[in-house]
Amino acid sequence: MRALVLNAETRTAELQYVSLPVQAPNELLVKVEAISLNPIDPLYVLHPLASSGRKIGSDFAGLVVDVGASVPNSAHFKKGVRIAGFLQGACSVNERAGAFSEFLTVPWDLVWIIPNGVSTNEAASVSLVALTAAQAIWYRLQLKAPFHYEPKLALEEHPEWNQGNAFNEQDPKVVNFFIYGASTSVGLYAAQMVRLTAKASGMTIRLFGAASKARWEMLRAQPYAYDYLVDYRDTNWSEQVKKLADDSEIHYAYDCIAEGDTVQRIASTLTRGGKSAIVRSREGGTWKADDLSVEPIYGAVWEGLGEEVQYQGFTVKQSPAARGFSVAFYEWLSVAMGLELKPTPVRLMPGGLEKVVEDGFQLLGAGGMKDRKAKRPEEWMRPVSAEKLVYRV
Protein backbone atom coordinates (compact mmCIF):
# COMPACT_ATOMS: atom_id res chain seq x y z
CA MET A 1 0.00 0.00 0.00
CA ARG A 2 0.98 3.66 -0.26
CA ALA A 3 1.68 5.65 2.89
CA LEU A 4 3.25 8.93 3.96
CA VAL A 5 6.45 8.00 5.77
CA LEU A 6 8.60 10.22 7.98
CA ASN A 7 12.13 11.13 6.92
CA ALA A 8 13.48 12.53 10.16
CA GLU A 9 16.84 13.52 8.69
CA THR A 10 15.36 15.80 6.02
CA ARG A 11 12.35 16.77 8.18
CA THR A 12 9.70 15.83 5.69
CA ALA A 13 7.40 12.95 4.81
CA GLU A 14 7.59 10.96 1.59
CA LEU A 15 5.00 8.86 -0.22
CA GLN A 16 6.26 5.27 -0.25
CA TYR A 17 5.04 1.73 -0.86
CA VAL A 18 5.01 -0.19 2.44
CA SER A 19 3.65 -3.50 3.68
CA LEU A 20 0.00 -3.82 4.65
CA PRO A 21 -0.57 -3.61 8.44
CA VAL A 22 -1.00 -6.81 10.45
CA GLN A 23 -4.34 -6.92 12.21
CA ALA A 24 -4.58 -7.93 15.91
CA PRO A 25 -7.62 -9.88 17.22
CA ASN A 26 -9.10 -6.76 18.89
CA GLU A 27 -8.62 -4.56 15.83
CA LEU A 28 -10.42 -3.56 12.66
CA LEU A 29 -8.70 -3.46 9.28
CA VAL A 30 -9.76 -0.24 7.57
CA LYS A 31 -9.57 0.94 3.98
CA VAL A 32 -8.90 4.66 4.37
CA GLU A 33 -11.09 6.91 2.21
CA ALA A 34 -10.32 10.34 3.66
CA ILE A 35 -7.88 11.98 6.07
CA SER A 36 -7.78 15.42 7.67
CA LEU A 37 -4.87 17.49 8.91
CA ASN A 38 -4.17 18.75 12.41
CA PRO A 39 -1.43 21.23 13.36
CA ILE A 40 0.45 18.49 15.20
CA ASP A 41 0.88 16.54 11.93
CA PRO A 42 3.33 18.99 10.30
CA LEU A 43 4.74 20.02 13.69
CA TYR A 44 6.26 16.62 14.39
CA VAL A 45 7.41 16.15 10.82
CA LEU A 46 9.24 19.48 10.76
CA HIS A 47 10.44 18.91 14.35
CA PRO A 48 10.59 15.10 14.44
CA LEU A 49 10.39 13.09 17.64
CA ALA A 50 10.09 9.74 15.88
CA SER A 51 12.72 8.02 13.80
CA SER A 52 12.60 7.71 10.02
CA GLY A 53 10.29 5.11 8.52
CA ARG A 54 7.26 5.77 10.68
CA LYS A 55 3.87 6.34 9.03
CA ILE A 56 2.59 9.82 9.92
CA GLY A 57 -0.85 11.32 10.39
CA SER A 58 -3.76 11.28 12.83
CA ASP A 59 -7.38 11.63 11.61
CA PHE A 60 -9.02 9.21 9.18
CA ALA A 61 -12.36 7.89 7.93
CA GLY A 62 -12.95 4.78 5.87
CA LEU A 63 -14.56 1.38 5.44
CA VAL A 64 -14.17 -1.72 7.60
CA VAL A 65 -12.43 -4.40 5.53
CA ASP A 66 -12.01 -7.09 8.19
CA VAL A 67 -13.05 -7.60 11.81
CA GLY A 68 -10.71 -9.13 14.39
CA ALA A 69 -11.68 -12.42 15.99
CA SER A 70 -12.12 -10.94 19.49
CA VAL A 71 -14.28 -7.97 18.44
CA PRO A 72 -17.69 -8.55 20.06
CA ASN A 73 -20.67 -9.07 17.76
CA SER A 74 -22.61 -6.48 19.78
CA ALA A 75 -20.26 -3.77 18.48
CA HIS A 76 -22.11 -3.80 15.10
CA PHE A 77 -18.92 -3.79 13.03
CA LYS A 78 -18.99 -5.65 9.76
CA LYS A 79 -17.38 -5.31 6.36
CA GLY A 80 -18.38 -2.13 4.59
CA VAL A 81 -19.37 -0.14 7.70
CA ARG A 82 -18.13 3.47 7.63
CA ILE A 83 -16.02 4.41 10.64
CA ALA A 84 -13.72 7.23 11.76
CA GLY A 85 -11.01 7.67 14.37
CA PHE A 86 -7.43 8.79 14.85
CA LEU A 87 -4.00 7.29 15.43
CA GLN A 88 -0.95 8.78 17.06
CA GLY A 89 1.06 9.33 13.92
CA ALA A 90 4.65 10.51 14.34
CA CYS A 91 3.68 12.65 17.34
CA SER A 92 5.82 10.96 20.00
CA VAL A 93 8.98 8.99 20.56
CA ASN A 94 6.91 5.79 20.73
CA GLU A 95 6.96 3.73 17.56
CA ARG A 96 3.31 3.62 16.55
CA ALA A 97 1.85 3.75 13.07
CA GLY A 98 -0.02 6.78 11.76
CA ALA A 99 -3.16 7.10 9.64
CA PHE A 100 -1.96 8.66 6.39
CA SER A 101 -2.00 5.45 4.38
CA GLU A 102 -4.33 3.42 2.21
CA PHE A 103 -5.03 0.84 4.94
CA LEU A 104 -4.64 0.86 8.72
CA THR A 105 -5.58 -1.12 11.82
CA VAL A 106 -7.23 0.34 14.90
CA PRO A 107 -8.74 -0.98 18.18
CA TRP A 108 -12.45 -1.55 17.61
CA ASP A 109 -13.59 0.47 20.65
CA LEU A 110 -11.61 3.61 19.75
CA VAL A 111 -13.55 4.42 16.58
CA TRP A 112 -17.10 5.60 15.93
CA ILE A 113 -19.59 4.52 13.31
CA ILE A 114 -20.39 7.36 10.89
CA PRO A 115 -24.16 8.02 10.98
CA ASN A 116 -26.26 8.59 7.88
CA GLY A 117 -26.27 12.25 6.98
CA VAL A 118 -22.60 12.76 7.83
CA SER A 119 -20.25 12.54 4.86
CA THR A 120 -17.00 10.61 4.95
CA ASN A 121 -15.12 13.87 4.33
CA GLU A 122 -16.79 15.50 7.34
CA ALA A 123 -16.20 12.44 9.51
CA ALA A 124 -12.49 12.43 8.72
CA SER A 125 -12.18 15.85 10.35
CA VAL A 126 -13.85 15.02 13.65
CA SER A 127 -12.12 12.47 15.86
CA LEU A 128 -9.00 14.15 17.25
CA VAL A 129 -10.31 17.69 17.67
CA ALA A 130 -13.71 16.64 19.02
CA LEU A 131 -12.06 14.39 21.61
CA THR A 132 -9.64 17.20 22.47
CA ALA A 133 -12.58 19.49 23.24
CA ALA A 134 -14.54 16.79 25.06
CA GLN A 135 -11.57 15.96 27.27
CA ALA A 136 -11.32 19.63 28.28
CA ILE A 137 -15.00 20.38 28.83
CA TRP A 138 -16.28 17.11 30.27
CA TYR A 139 -13.27 15.09 31.44
CA ARG A 140 -10.86 17.68 32.92
CA LEU A 141 -13.18 20.56 33.85
CA GLN A 142 -15.74 17.95 34.98
CA LEU A 143 -18.83 19.61 33.53
CA LYS A 144 -21.82 17.34 33.01
CA ALA A 145 -21.62 15.28 29.80
CA PRO A 146 -24.62 14.09 27.73
CA PHE A 147 -23.43 10.47 28.03
CA HIS A 148 -22.38 8.18 30.85
CA TYR A 149 -18.78 7.66 31.92
CA GLU A 150 -17.05 7.43 35.30
CA PRO A 151 -15.80 10.92 36.30
CA LYS A 152 -14.68 9.59 39.68
CA LEU A 153 -11.99 7.53 37.94
CA ALA A 154 -10.52 10.70 36.45
CA LEU A 155 -10.51 12.42 39.84
CA GLU A 156 -8.83 9.41 41.44
CA GLU A 157 -5.99 9.82 38.94
CA HIS A 158 -6.03 13.63 39.20
CA PRO A 159 -7.42 14.78 42.59
CA GLU A 160 -6.12 18.29 41.89
CA TRP A 161 -8.82 18.69 39.22
CA ASN A 162 -11.44 18.78 41.94
CA GLN A 163 -9.98 21.92 43.49
CA GLY A 164 -11.52 25.31 42.85
CA ASN A 165 -15.29 25.02 42.78
CA ALA A 166 -16.42 28.32 41.35
CA PHE A 167 -20.09 27.45 41.80
CA ASN A 168 -22.46 24.72 42.88
CA GLU A 169 -24.40 23.01 40.08
CA GLN A 170 -27.55 23.42 42.19
CA ASP A 171 -26.93 27.16 42.45
CA PRO A 172 -29.29 28.97 40.03
CA LYS A 173 -26.87 31.79 39.26
CA VAL A 174 -25.55 32.26 35.75
CA VAL A 175 -22.29 30.51 34.90
CA ASN A 176 -19.81 32.31 32.62
CA PHE A 177 -17.64 30.25 30.26
CA PHE A 178 -14.89 31.81 28.10
CA ILE A 179 -13.27 30.17 25.04
CA TYR A 180 -10.13 31.70 23.54
CA GLY A 181 -9.65 30.60 19.93
CA ALA A 182 -13.40 30.28 19.41
CA SER A 183 -13.15 29.81 15.63
CA THR A 184 -10.55 27.04 15.77
CA SER A 185 -11.82 23.53 15.09
CA VAL A 186 -11.37 22.62 18.76
CA GLY A 187 -13.13 25.82 19.78
CA LEU A 188 -16.10 25.13 17.50
CA TYR A 189 -16.64 21.76 19.19
CA ALA A 190 -16.01 23.18 22.67
CA ALA A 191 -18.79 25.76 22.26
CA GLN A 192 -21.26 23.07 21.21
CA MET A 193 -20.25 20.96 24.19
CA VAL A 194 -20.79 23.85 26.59
CA ARG A 195 -24.30 24.21 25.13
CA LEU A 196 -24.89 20.47 25.57
CA THR A 197 -23.73 20.75 29.19
CA ALA A 198 -26.29 23.49 29.80
CA LYS A 199 -28.99 21.27 28.31
CA ALA A 200 -27.92 18.18 30.28
CA SER A 201 -27.52 19.99 33.61
CA GLY A 202 -30.24 22.63 33.44
CA MET A 203 -27.67 25.34 34.15
CA THR A 204 -27.78 28.76 32.53
CA ILE A 205 -24.41 29.29 30.85
CA ARG A 206 -23.30 32.52 29.20
CA LEU A 207 -20.71 31.81 26.53
CA PHE A 208 -17.90 34.29 25.88
CA GLY A 209 -15.40 33.93 23.05
CA ALA A 210 -12.32 35.52 21.50
CA ALA A 211 -12.01 35.30 17.72
CA SER A 212 -11.55 37.38 14.61
CA LYS A 213 -14.48 39.69 13.86
CA ALA A 214 -14.77 37.99 10.48
CA ARG A 215 -16.13 34.91 12.32
CA TRP A 216 -18.51 36.62 14.72
CA GLU A 217 -21.64 36.15 12.62
CA MET A 218 -21.01 32.41 12.39
CA LEU A 219 -20.20 32.12 16.10
CA ARG A 220 -23.34 33.97 17.18
CA ALA A 221 -25.51 31.56 15.17
CA GLN A 222 -26.47 28.00 16.09
CA PRO A 223 -25.04 25.58 17.07
CA TYR A 224 -22.48 27.81 18.86
CA ALA A 225 -24.74 30.66 20.02
CA TYR A 226 -22.11 32.84 21.67
CA ASP A 227 -23.53 35.50 23.95
CA TYR A 228 -20.48 37.80 23.85
CA LEU A 229 -17.45 38.03 21.57
CA VAL A 230 -14.20 40.01 21.63
CA ASP A 231 -11.55 40.42 18.96
CA TYR A 232 -8.37 38.59 19.92
CA ARG A 233 -6.38 41.26 18.09
CA ASP A 234 -7.47 43.94 20.57
CA THR A 235 -4.72 44.54 23.11
CA ASN A 236 -7.25 44.75 25.95
CA TRP A 237 -9.40 41.73 25.10
CA SER A 238 -9.09 40.24 28.60
CA GLU A 239 -10.36 43.48 30.17
CA GLN A 240 -13.23 43.49 27.68
CA VAL A 241 -14.20 39.97 28.75
CA LYS A 242 -14.35 40.96 32.41
CA LYS A 243 -16.44 44.03 31.59
CA LEU A 244 -18.87 42.02 29.47
CA ALA A 245 -19.25 39.58 32.35
CA ASP A 246 -20.57 42.51 34.43
CA ASP A 247 -17.51 42.26 36.65
CA SER A 248 -18.74 38.87 37.91
CA GLU A 249 -15.73 37.35 36.17
CA ILE A 250 -15.39 33.99 34.45
CA HIS A 251 -16.07 30.64 36.12
CA TYR A 252 -14.57 28.43 33.42
CA ALA A 253 -12.17 29.09 30.55
CA TYR A 254 -10.71 27.01 27.74
CA ASP A 255 -7.65 28.23 25.83
CA CYS A 256 -7.61 26.54 22.42
CA ILE A 257 -4.37 28.30 21.42
CA ALA A 258 -2.20 28.56 24.58
CA GLU A 259 0.56 30.62 23.01
CA GLY A 260 2.43 33.68 24.26
CA ASP A 261 0.59 35.46 27.09
CA THR A 262 -2.88 33.99 26.47
CA VAL A 263 -2.73 31.60 29.44
CA GLN A 264 -1.76 34.38 31.84
CA ARG A 265 -4.37 36.82 30.53
CA ILE A 266 -7.12 34.22 30.67
CA ALA A 267 -6.20 33.47 34.28
CA SER A 268 -6.74 37.15 35.05
CA THR A 269 -10.39 36.86 33.94
CA LEU A 270 -11.21 33.96 36.28
CA THR A 271 -13.17 34.40 39.46
CA ARG A 272 -11.82 32.98 42.71
CA GLY A 273 -12.19 29.21 42.47
CA GLY A 274 -12.49 29.36 38.67
CA LYS A 275 -10.97 26.71 36.43
CA SER A 276 -9.22 26.77 33.08
CA ALA A 277 -8.07 24.11 30.63
CA ILE A 278 -5.47 24.54 27.88
CA VAL A 279 -4.27 22.65 24.81
CA ARG A 280 -0.51 23.00 25.33
CA SER A 281 1.72 22.12 28.28
CA ARG A 282 4.45 24.32 29.77
CA GLU A 283 7.02 21.82 28.50
CA GLY A 284 6.42 22.87 24.90
CA GLY A 285 7.72 26.36 25.61
CA THR A 286 4.82 28.03 23.77
CA TRP A 287 3.75 29.93 26.89
CA LYS A 288 5.35 31.05 30.14
CA ALA A 289 3.86 32.55 33.29
CA ASP A 290 5.16 32.61 36.85
CA ASP A 291 2.35 34.39 38.69
CA LEU A 292 -0.83 32.60 37.69
CA SER A 293 -3.73 32.83 40.13
CA VAL A 294 -5.05 29.55 38.72
CA GLU A 295 -2.88 26.73 37.40
CA PRO A 296 -4.47 25.55 34.12
CA ILE A 297 -5.35 21.91 33.56
CA TYR A 298 -3.46 20.26 30.72
CA GLY A 299 -3.57 16.79 29.21
CA ALA A 300 -2.54 15.48 25.81
CA VAL A 301 -5.30 14.08 23.62
CA TRP A 302 -3.12 10.98 23.09
CA GLU A 303 -3.84 9.70 26.60
CA GLY A 304 -7.31 8.94 25.28
CA LEU A 305 -5.75 6.10 23.27
CA GLY A 306 -4.76 4.36 26.48
CA GLU A 307 -1.02 4.22 25.84
CA GLU A 308 1.99 5.89 27.44
CA VAL A 309 3.24 8.76 25.29
CA GLN A 310 6.87 9.85 25.38
CA TYR A 311 7.96 13.28 24.24
CA GLN A 312 11.42 14.77 24.62
CA GLY A 313 11.86 14.88 28.39
CA PHE A 314 8.10 14.62 28.99
CA THR A 315 5.91 11.54 29.45
CA VAL A 316 2.12 11.30 29.39
CA LYS A 317 1.31 8.30 31.55
CA GLN A 318 -1.05 5.53 30.52
CA SER A 319 -4.53 6.41 31.77
CA PRO A 320 -7.32 3.80 31.99
CA ALA A 321 -9.72 6.59 32.98
CA ALA A 322 -8.87 8.67 29.90
CA ARG A 323 -9.25 5.65 27.65
CA GLY A 324 -12.60 4.79 29.22
CA PHE A 325 -13.78 8.33 28.55
CA SER A 326 -12.73 8.04 24.88
CA VAL A 327 -14.64 4.76 24.48
CA ALA A 328 -17.79 6.30 25.98
CA PHE A 329 -17.42 9.48 23.91
CA TYR A 330 -17.01 7.64 20.61
CA GLU A 331 -19.95 5.36 21.38
CA TRP A 332 -22.05 8.50 21.94
CA LEU A 333 -20.61 10.12 18.80
CA SER A 334 -21.85 7.19 16.68
CA VAL A 335 -25.37 8.45 17.37
CA ALA A 336 -24.88 12.13 18.21
CA MET A 337 -22.68 13.31 15.33
CA GLY A 338 -24.78 15.29 12.90
CA LEU A 339 -27.65 15.52 15.42
CA GLU A 340 -26.49 16.80 18.81
CA LEU A 341 -23.01 17.69 17.55
CA LYS A 342 -22.40 19.30 14.19
CA PRO A 343 -19.15 18.72 12.25
CA THR A 344 -16.97 21.72 11.53
CA PRO A 345 -16.71 23.05 7.96
CA VAL A 346 -14.19 21.21 5.77
CA ARG A 347 -12.06 22.28 2.82
CA LEU A 348 -11.63 19.40 0.40
CA MET A 349 -8.10 19.77 -0.93
CA PRO A 350 -7.12 18.68 -4.47
CA GLY A 351 -4.94 15.62 -4.88
CA GLY A 352 -4.44 12.85 -2.36
CA LEU A 353 -1.63 11.68 -0.10
CA GLU A 354 0.92 13.02 -2.56
CA LYS A 355 -0.25 16.62 -1.93
CA VAL A 356 -0.39 16.60 1.88
CA VAL A 357 3.16 17.83 2.47
CA GLU A 358 3.33 20.10 -0.58
CA ASP A 359 0.06 21.94 0.11
CA GLY A 360 -1.52 21.05 3.45
CA PHE A 361 1.61 21.26 5.58
CA GLN A 362 2.47 24.60 4.00
CA LEU A 363 -0.90 25.98 5.03
CA LEU A 364 -0.62 24.76 8.62
CA GLY A 365 3.02 25.72 9.10
CA ALA A 366 5.03 24.25 11.95
CA GLY A 367 2.11 23.99 14.35
CA GLY A 368 1.78 27.53 15.76
CA MET A 369 -0.63 30.19 14.52
CA LYS A 370 2.28 32.57 13.86
CA ASP A 371 3.89 30.00 11.54
CA ARG A 372 1.05 29.99 9.00
CA LYS A 373 2.71 32.04 6.28
CA ALA A 374 1.92 30.18 3.06
CA LYS A 375 1.38 32.65 0.20
CA ARG A 376 0.30 30.99 -3.02
CA PRO A 377 -2.25 32.09 -5.63
CA GLU A 378 -4.31 28.88 -5.81
CA GLU A 379 -7.80 29.21 -4.34
CA TRP A 380 -7.34 26.16 -2.11
CA MET A 381 -4.20 27.72 -0.60
CA ARG A 382 -6.07 30.58 1.06
CA PRO A 383 -5.44 30.96 4.81
CA VAL A 384 -7.10 28.39 7.05
CA SER A 385 -9.85 29.67 9.32
CA ALA A 386 -12.77 27.87 10.99
CA GLU A 387 -12.36 24.76 8.83
CA LYS A 388 -10.45 21.50 8.50
CA LEU A 389 -8.30 20.45 5.55
CA VAL A 390 -9.41 17.09 4.11
CA TYR A 391 -7.80 14.86 1.47
CA ARG A 392 -9.33 11.90 -0.28
CA VAL A 393 -7.21 8.75 -0.31
pLDDT tens column, 59-93: 999 999 999 999 999 889 999 999 999 999 888 88
Q: Which CATH class is domain 130-301?
A: alpha beta
> What is the predicted pLDDT for the residue at 311?
77
The two domains 2-126+343-392 and 130-301 share their CATH topology (first three levels equal)? yes
Q: Where are the domains of the chain?
A: 2-126+343-392, 130-301
What pLDDT does 165 receive?
A: 58
pLDDT given for residue 92 in this prediction:
87
pLDDT in tens, 235-279: 999 999 999 988 678 999 999 998 889 999 999 999 888 899 999
Q: Is the Cβ–Cβ distance between 99 and 59 less than 8 Å?
A: yes
Domain boundaries 2-126+343-392, corresponding CATH code: 3.90.180.10
Asked if the model's pLDDT at residue 348 lies above 80, the reply is: yes
Provide, rounded to the nearest whole percent, the portion of the chain with pLDDT above 70. Answer: 93
Model pLDDT, residue 314: 80
Q: Average pLDDT in the 195-220 region?
A: 95
